[in-house]
Structure 1
Amino acid sequence: MTNIQNDALDRRILRALQEDGRMTVQALADRVGLSPSPCLRRVRQLEKAGVISGYSANIDQKAVGLPVSVFVSIKLERQRAGNLDAFGVAISQWPEVMECYLMTGQFDFLLRVVCADLEAYEQFLRNKLTQLDGVASIESSFSLGAVKFSRVLPI
């Protein structure tokens, strides 16, 4: 954490907001042991410093018709900066790709793709992923279920 106090109060604020980003300033202040004004001031500092990068709703992917998660390992023909960047630009435009990581080891990228069913994934694979220049190999692994899924960082 830069440009903030980085103390136990900031960490308590961050933990509380990760668990419930919609709580009022009063509820947050009560939970962390501050009065509302200093609590809000700290939240604004955390936002300004980029520690809090935004707020969003957590949506159940099954409830919105996207029950399938596929982890896709990609190896590129070349690992030059331009090739890595071009792949990243293409992937960032596809809403099915929820996460994309540049990796070390056997593969260059690891993606998490969500879709409605196997047919939808096949269409994604055929019409998007295999159409990219420079892709040497694609390996897909289908998730059978989540054992643990958390957006709360251990701070």
Structure 2
Amino acid sequence: MTVIEIRSASEADLADIQACARQAYAKYIERMNQEPAPMHADFALQIANGWVDVAVGEIGLVGYVVYYQRDDHVHLENVSVSPEFSGGGIGKRLIAHVELFARNAGSQAVELYTNEAMTENLAMYQRFGYREVDRRHEGGFSRVFFRKQL
């Protein structure tokens, strides 16, 4: 696969987005002793709200990102890449896509959270310039909150 396009998600992408979330987050179930929140997201509603963009290649959907404007920042709700394409820079491209959206919208920052059990994500966000701003138990999950000033 050589070309990855990032575009707005449509209803036709729903099943592929759900499958990507299940596959990408399955490895965390044992660590967290529960299914991660993105495995239960209402992707149909998020797509209808225009909050989901997908990364597609010649073989179809390889990842997605959920994000939206919130106050002075853009909230990055969820980014996921199919495990078979993990490590190929697709997640980084999706995050950069959100950051470009935020800049173009005049936002001051991008904020996100991840589960503290997702140690790979904690390190990745720090490498991408996000700084930890809080940790708290919320919605049954131990979350780590990050912010990146633009």
TM norm structure 1: 0.28
* Structure with greater strand share of residues: 2
Larger RCO (CA under 8 A, 6+ residues apart): 1
Larger Rg: 1
